[in-house]
Amino acid sequence: MEEKAEIAIQHSDDAFFKVFLSDYSLRPSCYSCLFKGYRMPGDLIIGDFWNIRMAYPSMDDDKGVSEVIVVTEKGEKLISMLSGRMEIRRTSILKAFQPAIWYPPVKPRKRERFFLELRSNSFATSLQHINSNKLRGIASLFRGIVRTLWPIRFKRTAAGMSRVENDLKKTCIGCSACVSACPTKAIGMKADNEGFQYPIIDESKCINCGLCKRICPVANPKKMLTGFRAVYAMKASDEIRACCSSGGVFPVLAEEIVRKGGIVFGAVLDLLSSNFVKHTAVDDVARLSLLYGSKYIQSTIGSSYEDVKRELATGRLVLFSGTPCQIAGLYSYLGRFDYSNLYTISIICHGVPSSLVFSAYLKDMQKDGMDIVDVSFRDKIIGWRRYSIKLTYSKHNV
Ligand SMILES: Cc1cc2nc3c(=O)[nH]c(=O)nc-3n(C[C@H](O)[C@H](O)[C@H](O)COP(=O)(O)OP(=O)(O)OC[C@H]3O[C@@H](n4cnc5c(N)ncnc54)[C@H](O)[C@@H]3O)c2cc1C
Ligand code: SF4
Ligand code: SF4
């Protein structure tokens, strides 16, 4: 007989979220993210409309509202698929303002110390050690305000690009476009000691064609846009919003694409795999829920870029969703290939923790004789704003 138990911890009381939201556990490249503001790729950009109570109080029922930024003409086509299925209100980028759209997170002074602590301590002890500085909260708030009011930030991110070759660790986003493009399959991805994946080249297979450098979205950034086309506040039915993180834009669009015969790529949680989250293709409405909900661990791309290309070559409709850097990697990989049937959704991105961080957290949360069989990072049981991390345990009695 299988026994199950669930616990839900409000994010403000949870160790994983304390570390994530104070930016300790993010990939090094996130601190100089090149895909912010008008550099964010994708036909649509979606996120949580945290400011909805101020912008449109009547829309706020604490079950989730999405903010949706239309970047391209294709993005407008996606919006037309949503009409009739969502409550939609046009708004402005000012009303939908949140720092994660415009600026990278600030790297905490003790970030490296946190990862070092994780090697010999539990997650909770590592958190305790970095939390010893009581002034940190005030210092980081001050730095946040200065950065928000100081648009000079763009110059700093642009400067980051020149560091690509000699400082791969700081700039590589781990998109694996180089891995997918390599004609001799000489490149693979390997986790470093913080648990983030980086490309490694097997010199015996490398023919020095240079394709990996030409395709890298960090080494070859795209032109910056001059503005967004439109911004919306949106919410789907209560039933849909119960199983997703925000207002349900992604689930509704994914279903529309699959019903039109298309295929949808997104991030799936697999607690049995070493990376925990991987990009996966789904073309069956019954399995779409695997893609729903935010998973706060960097997702591995695997062969997804190649799979997208193969599907596009057959003339199929493709919807690809991911972090802005993953979308940039996809466009770089596709290059001049005809992607008229491709639609892309970037999520507004705070940054991504590694699988090692999550694995240390799970170890702390283990209970005797029970396995953690599911995790929901954005459970809305006590509301969308006070979201909780929900862990499901299973006990097997013989
Ligand atoms: C790491 C991360 C950081 C985020 N930071 C912010 C933020 O700072 N501000 C904000 O407003 N919104 C942020 N979001 C986006 C937000 O949480 C919702 O995912 C988004 O609003 C879509 O919600 P939904 O209700 O439309 O659909 P949902 O069903 O919740 O959408 C899930 C979508 O997110 C994708 N996804 C989930 N996990 C990952 C992952 N690890 N990597 C790549 N794609 C993933 C899925 O493929 C799917 O497309 C973040 C999401 C993630 C994964
Ligand atoms: S994961 Fe998010 S914050 Fe980090 S580099 Fe990619 S888009 Fe930028
Ligand atoms: S293509 Fe992606 S994974 Fe490869 S080096 Fe560039 S950023 Fe890193």
| pLDDT (tens digit per residue) in 366-380 | 999 999 999 999 999
Protein residue whose Cα sits closest to atom 1 of ligand 2: 351
pLDDT at position 168 over 80: no
Mean pLDDT over each residue of the chain, to the nearest integer: 91
% of the chain surpassing 90 pLDDT: 85
Mutation pick for ligand 2 pocket among 26, 325, 357 (CB with most ligand atoms within 8 Å): 325
Q: Where residue 152 falls among pLDDT bands split at 50, 70, 90?
A: very low
Taking Cα atoms as reference points, which of 84, 46, 26 lies closest to residue 292? 46
> What is the arithmetic mean of pLDDT over 287-316?
98
pLDDT at position 267 over 90: yes
Q: Where residue 149 falls among pLDDT bands split at 50, 70, 90?
A: low
Distance 40 CA to ligand 1 centre (A): 15
As a whole number of angstroms, the distance between CA 317 and CA 314 comes to 9
Which has more pLDDT, 139 or 360? 360
Span 72-128, pLDDT tens digits: 999 999 999 998 999 999 999 999 999 999 999 999 999 999 999 999 999 999 999
Q: Edge-to-edge, what's the strand order for the sheet holding 277-282?
A: 87-91, 230-235, 66-70, 44-48, 342-347, 318-322, 263-269, 277-282
pLDDT attached to residue 157 = 32
Per the listing, tokens 């001050």 go with 142
* Neighbouring C-alpha atoms within 13 Å toward the C-beta of 335: 12
Protein residue whose Cα sits closest to atom 49 of ligand 1: 321
Mutation pick for ligand 3 pocket among 178, 182, 222, 306 (CB with most ligand atoms within 8 Å): 178
Ligand nearest to the CA of residue 32, numbered in listed order: 2
Taking Cα atoms as reference points, which of 223, 222, 176 lies closest to residue 196? 176
Q: Where residue 250 falls among pLDDT bands split at 50, 70, 90?
A: very high
Span 14-53, pLDDT tens digits: 999 999 999 999 999 999 999 999 999 999 999 999 999 9
Q: Where residue 225 falls among pLDDT bands split at 50, 70, 90?
A: confident
As a whole number of angstroms, the distance between CA 135 and CA 13 comes to 20
pLDDT attached to residue 334 = 97
Sign of CA dihedral 92, 93, 94, 99: positive
Protein residue whose Cα sits closest to atom 52 of ligand 1: 294
